[in-house]
Structure 1
Amino acid sequence: MSREEQPLIIEERGRVLILTLNRPRAKNAMSLQLSEELAEAFEILDSRPDLSLGVITGAGGTFCAGMDLKGFARGEIPIVPDRGFAGLVQRPPRKPLIAAVEGYALGGGFEIALACDLIVAADNAIFGLPEVKRGLTANAGGLLRLQHRLPYHYAMELVLTGRMLPAVEAGELHLVNRVTAPGAALDTALELAEEIARNAPLALATSKRIMVESVDWPVGEKFARQHEFVDPIRKSNDAAEGARAFVEKRVPVWTGS
């Protein structure tokens, strides 16, 4: 299969895994095959100690237009057991994930971006959950996540009207971390990824886990539960390496152990 025929292009840049949705003629709409390949890629990301985080983007100037309706008409649903839509939304990877968005991120495409930890978007990008306009509901995490990323009433307006959210407006709302010129979202996302990748991979994954999971922890248990996660990090080889590198005034060499 040629590169042009691959639904998902996987590349590595240092400690960063780059995942490119490669169905540009279908606006990178999510197929079952693409969902399954993404799920496998996230397993690779989490299992390899030489990788610190991932970046997901779309080919052809579009991020993702949602579910592939032609595949749906054939009876295909792009859901992976235990991981959900796109092999992502129900169980994101343990390691950080950045969405680099150009063009449309609609419906399931927006929900993919919401399942990521950071979002970089070109100023011509458009987000939206238009499902109510088609008699449907957003079922891939949009209704569960958006109200925690935006003020409640603003999120509710977007859901109930189904209107489009331009990237510039999303940036003003701090839903997007960086807004770039058209065509520059991936490069900017990789700059951010490389900044993050200079830090210790175990500490990155654990920091993400605590921030995600601690939302539901009882107040009186928060520090005790946090200790369960951070104590092994404090005793890790990378923590010792970080201290040595600081004393020796050099760049640390992380092993992910």
Structure 2
Amino acid sequence: MSDVEFFLQGHVAHVKLNRPKSLNAIDPGMDKALLDAWNEINRDANIWVAVLSAEGERAFCVGADVSKGTDRASRMALGGGLTGIGGPLVTLKKPLVAAVQGYALGGGFELAMCADIIVAASTTQFGLPETKAGIMGECGVMHRAIRQLPYHIAMAMILTGDRLNAADALSHGLVNEVVDHANLMESATRWAEKITAASPLAVQAAKMAVLQRLDWPLEVALATRFEPIEEYAFTEDRQEGARAFAEKRKPEWRGR
């Protein structure tokens, strides 16, 4: 079995970390395999949404496998560039659902925060152990945490190394849903199916619009054009949406 499994189910791409004995720590080979997965998801028009998960109950991912060392010359950035830690940032054009359980620490926590939807098992523990362990390298996870959590919650995690459990993560809006571990993949798949029920081109244009204008002042973002949304007006899916609405039926999206 590969340390990173990649397979398709309909319009959903599944990416699974598969090193449970190492708590799914990401080594250079996994980093490259993840980059290949993200590139394929971006390339394949038949893929409308992706689900990131991990094997085993103990951990989603504890970050980089420090025992394997780091080849800076060939590094794709942790998580295949999805996090951008210490390397290039890969922007996933399709929506990403993360199914998280057990330990999600350091870079593993950041990998989860790269998702658009997070489903967490009740066993999940999010954490930034860097300061507590006295090991400070790249700090991308801190930049994301301070943007996705209330300031004082994020700073408490950063400064003390204390972990955030699933229930508290839900209360702070970090995750969308908390379920028993046995129901984790069922829930993540349900979220993916809800996304595929929408127009894939509209979803992709909406995601890119949000990401590209996220740090802009609101008045500037509102006043700017966004070409992918304008281009969507001339697609087959836009016409199908209008027909389905008029005919009071579910649309049949084609992604064109």
TM-score by length of structure 2 reads 0.91
The whole-number CA distance in structure 1 between the counterparts of 2:95 and 2:234 is 22
- Secondary structure in structure 2 of the residue aligned to 1:44: helix
Kindly provide the CA deviation profile for residues 20-74 of structure 1, in whole angstroms up to 9, marking residues without a partner as x.
10111111100111111111111111111111110101001121111112212xx
Structure-2 separation of matches of 1:205 and 1:80: 28
What CA RMSD, in Å, does the superposition of the two structures yield over aligned residues?
1.8
- State the SS of the aligned residue for 1:184: helix
Q: Cα 1:219–1:249, aligned 2, differ >3 Å: closer, same or farther?
A: closer
Percent of aligned pairs with the same amino acid: 36
1:182 Cα shift? 2.0
The equivalent of 2:202 in structure 1 is 203
Aligned residue pair count: 249
Give the letter for the 2:61 counterpart: C
1:71 partnered with 2:64: no
Unpaired runs of 5+ in structure 2? 85-89
Identify the residue that residue 16 of structure 1 maps to in structure 2. Answer: 12
SS in structure 1 of the partner of residue 60 of structure 2: coil
Q: Pick closer, same or farther for the CA change 1:70–1:77 going to 2, 3 Å.
A: farther
Question: Among 11, 20, 45, which residue is 2:41 paired with?
Answer: 45
Partner amino acid, structure 2, of 1:103: G
Change (3 A) 1:220 1:129: same
- Paired residue secondary structure (1:121): strand
1:147 aligns with 2:141: no
Q: Shift in Å at residue 129 of structure 1?
A: 0.7
Residues 204 and 170 (structure 1 numbering): CA distance in 2 closer, same or farther, change over 3 Å? Answer: same
- Aligned counterparts, 1:53-132, within 5 A: 53-61=49-57, 62-72=59-69, 75-76=70-71, 80-81=75-76, 84-87=77-80, 88-90=82-84, 91-132=90-131
The SS at the match of 1:116 is coil
Using a 3 Å threshold, how does the CA distance of structure 1 residues 129 and 242 change in structure 2: closer, same or farther?
same
Which aligned pairs between 1:228-243 and structure 2 lie closer than 5 A? 228-243=227-242
The answer (yes or no) to whether the contact 1:98–1:116 under 8 Å persists in 2 is yes
The question of whether the paired residues in 1 share the 8 Å contact of 2:146 and 2:155 is answered with: yes
**Which consecutive unaligned segments of at least 5 residues does structure 1 have?**
none
